[in-house]
Amino acid sequence: MNDENELDMAVAAVKAQDPKPEQVAEAQQRVWAKLQAQTGAQPITACEGFQSQIPAFLSKDLSPAKTLLLEDHTKSCVACRKALWLARTPSVVQPPSIRQSPVWRQYLAAAAMFTVAISGGWYIYSELGFGGNPPRAVLASSEGRVYRLSGNKLVALVDGEELPQNDILRTGAGSRAMLRLGDGTLLEAGERSQLSLSGSREGTTVDLGSGNLLVQSNGRGGPFYVSSNDGRASVKGATSVFTRGTGGSRVAVLQGNVQWERNGVSSTLRPGEQAVSEALLDRIPVADQVAWSKNADQWRGLLSGLASVTIQGRPGFRSGTRLLDAVPDGAAVYITLPNLSGSLEQATAIIEDRVRKSPALQEWMAKDGRHLSELLEKARQVSSYLGEELVLAFLPDQGGILVAEVIKNGLREVLAQARIPASVGERRAAFGTPPLAAAAVLGGSHFATTPFGMRVQQAASQSTGIMIAADLQRLIAGTKRPEIMGLANLRYLIAGQRTDDTESQYSAILDFAGSRSGVASWLGAPSTIAGLAYVSPQAHVVAAAVSKRPADMIADLQTMMSKLPGAGLRLAELFGPQIVGSLGNEWTITLDGAVLPLPEWKVVVEVSQAAAMQSALEAVAAQSDQVHIDRQQVGPLLYYDVRLEGPGKPFHFTYLYTDGFLLAGANRAVIDRALLIRQSGMSLTSSSKFRALLPRSSRVNFSAMLYGTAGGLLGGGDNGIPATLVCAYGGDDRIEIASNTGVFDSVWRQLAELSFLRGTPGTGTSYR
């Protein structure tokens, strides 16, 4: 009996083992009773039940399932946690009796003890975080720009100043902050990070909104947690590092143990171990996760002494390409394709399946589709003689070749019959420019040892589908434009596809020889783009990016323009130094709301000096007859309504300043809705649909993104056309663009699901 049948039988056996209805009913009754107890109707019973299990838990006689439940319950139930502690702690030994002293001395001693108790209690209450208040947090040291967000106001925070409870600490690009808590805990925040502190009877919680955080807890005070939307970690007595971004969270332990809880499942992380909140987020070496810290060397030293540092990274993909020695040394373009015969066979099978289900397609196939079938069949016949990999290589001004391994005899005869010229050897076949093709069949080139060849080999080892590599330095050598735009050190382009168990991902990487410069340097390093918190999950189009500071970008533009003849324009003056100097690093533009009759757009731009920005804008309006700004206070919000007059109809929009951003939109309703989205936390980046589109990566953030749902734009609703997300990541010497939603995939599905292919007019498939 073959393997497939065994698996089917095993599955059938699982399905056949269904519980009886009365068994299900009894289980439901018991669970419902326990749930009622949890909601307060019968609390004693629930805790009595758990506490009765403590002896079995301590002696490790409790089942794994019940152990999980008990551990889960004691995290949130103080009474049961205390009962567990008492059960673990030996009895306190009674002190020996003491001699009676004179009465006045007893009163004095009692008064002294009372004073000490009150003072000590107050100290514990206010400094160490018991009783529902977090310990005092003071900015011990900082670099760069550190702010606190209090209500709606962004206020610079200086060393020695306290961070009030629930105020948000925010660090700027290239900045860092060290907070010291009253209990001695140290919190180190990296650049573009955001966190706040709060206290409750359960303990102190650091809410990490985004960025990097390193916590050194000395174990004093009450329970201490680091929390985010992705999970919660109990970090008391441990040194741990957290990274939180749009793509999820990563937590790693340097010293001590951390209890990490997510979706009701708890796990213990030990020194050197790391957990991620999303399956699509790769683990990385813990030493890399702390690289941003001021004391990175100290942490690396600590990690190097650990025996059990594990990196459960993603398994590798295919082992690389086997035809490098067939490629001419001077190749400037290298393309590798997967086995066409397999792909063609799948494509043929898919087409036949669709045709079977669609009367309209059957009719089309009978008339015009036969030619396509014949072509596919011919291509499949030739490709069936070739190996898994096809390689295309091009040399500037010399032509190109296609080369593949030959896996069975008879190819010469098939090619002769089809009149296709080729060089065919024992192991390889090559098509194209004859001298190059003949050399490819013989092999032995040194392409693999060239810098481009080595880069190709590295890229091929991480790719499982089509891969395109281009030596851009050679292809655009001699042209002036790259130098003017600061792209003179642009080196390679590598574009490809990789597939693992669950998805395909498409990426393109631009490599630079050295650090990015000119226009290429405008893309910032990956970071949380806070403006996306104002975008709803129903947005139609979103573009967002972290960039260089606008003042620096204008300086780059000025440098580029100085290389052009006759360029004397001073851009900094044109754009307004006050406006440019007030702008921050990130911006978000979106179409989010109604499309017709007027598109409801909004723009969210980081602004570090709102007052200076506003004063500059009003100065522009004062000097122009065509720009009018009216301000109106509505409750706590100060709106600025703008009217731009020109040759056509006046253009209206509204903006206000909030949380360190300028939020502008088509009208006040758009602004108000954006604020509600931000407050609710139910934004685009928190939606499961969006997160499912994120490319699998070791990075929790991206530098830029472009998101769109064409279906929403066309019909004002979801008509079945899936969303597309493309993310860009700016490295020091590279820019990577990645997407899970391949162009081919998207186009094929749209074609396949158009109503006429289904034979039923007006219907489409809803994917979400």
Partner 1 sequence: MVSSVESGNVDTEAPWLEGLFTEHSERVYRAAYRVTGSAADAEDVLQTVFLRLLRQGYNAATVDDAANYLYRAGVNASLDMLRSRKAASQVPLEDAFPPGAEPSVPPVPVEQGQLRDKLRAAVARLHETAAAMFILRYYEGLENVEIARRFATTEGVVAVTLHRARARLQKDLAPWRTA
Which residues make up the interface to partner 1 (CB under 8 A)? 1, 3-4, 6-7, 9-11, 13-15, 17-19, 23-25, 27-36, 38-42, 63-66, 68-69, 72, 76, 263-265, 279, 315, 499, 501-504, 682, 688-689, 692-693, 722, 745, 749, 765-768
Kindly tell me which of 4 and 426 has the beta carbon lying closer to partner 1.
4
SS3 104: helix
Task: Region of 166 please: left (phi>0), alpha (psi -120 to 50) or beta.
Answer: left
Kindly tell me which of 39 and 409 has the beta carbon lying closer to partner 1.
39
Q: How far is the CB of 568 from partner 1 (least distance, A)?
A: 54
- What are the DSSP calls for 37-61, one per residue? HHHTSSHHHHHHHHHHTHHHHHTT-
Kindly tell me which of 107 and 767 has the beta carbon lying closer to partner 1.
767
Kindly tell me which of 672 and 745 has the beta carbon lying closer to partner 1.
745
- H/E stretch holding 458 reads helix 451-460
Q: How far is the CB of 71 from partner 1 (least distance, A)?
A: 11
Q: How far is the CB of 717 from partner 1 (least distance, A)?
A: 16
- H/E stretch holding 250 reads strand 248-255
Both structure tokens of 697: 């990566």
State the Cα–Cα distance between residues 124 and 133, nearest whole angstrom.
Answer: 10
Kindly tell me which of 89 and 688 has the beta carbon lying closer to partner 1.
688
Rounded (10°) angle between helices 78-88 and 43-52: 20
Q: How far is the CB of 263 from partner 1 (least distance, A)?
A: 7
SS3 693: helix
Amino acid at 164: P
CA 447 to chain centre: 36
Q: How far is the CB of 10 from partner 1 (least distance, A)?
A: 4
Both structure tokens of 329: 């040394």
Using CA of residue 545, residue 550, residue 553, residue 554, what is the dihedral sign?
Answer: positive
Q: What residues form DSSP beta bridges with 231?
A: 228
SS3 449: helix
Kindly tell me which of 75 and 668 has the beta carbon lying closer to partner 1.
75
Q: How far is the CB of 73 from partner 1 (least distance, A)?
A: 8
Using alpha carbons, select from 524, 514, 535, 508 the residue that is nearest to residue 674: 535
State the Cα–Cα distance between residues 117 and 130, nearest whole angstrom.
Answer: 15
Are 468 and 332 in contact, with CB atoms under 8 Å apart? no
Q: How far is the CB of 39 from partner 1 (least distance, A)?
A: 5
Using alpha carbons, select from 229, 290, 238 the residue that is nearest to residue 269: 238
Are 440 and 401 in contact, with CB atoms under 8 Å apart? yes
State the Cα–Cα distance between residues 218 and 232, nearest whole angstrom.
Answer: 19
Q: How far is the CB of 107 from partner 1 (least distance, A)?
A: 49
Q: What residues form DSSP beta bridges with 196?
A: 168, 207
Q: How far is the CB of 316 from partner 1 (least distance, A)?
A: 10
Kindly tell me which of 18 and 426 has the beta carbon lying closer to partner 1.
18
Q: How far is the CB of 145 from partner 1 (least distance, A)?
A: 35
Longest dimension (CA), the chain: 121
Using alpha carbons, select from 247, 282, 230 the residue that is nearest to residue 690: 247
Q: How far is the CB of 305 from partner 1 (least distance, A)?
A: 25
Q: How far is the CB of 706 from partner 1 (least distance, A)?
A: 19
Kindly tell me which of 409 and 688 has the beta carbon lying closer to partner 1.
688
Q: Can the peptide bond before residue 597 be classed as cis, meaning omega within 30 degrees of 0?
A: yes
> Looking at residue 127, what DSSP letter applies?
I
In angstroms, what CA-CA distances link 700 with 272, 583, 695? 19, 25, 10
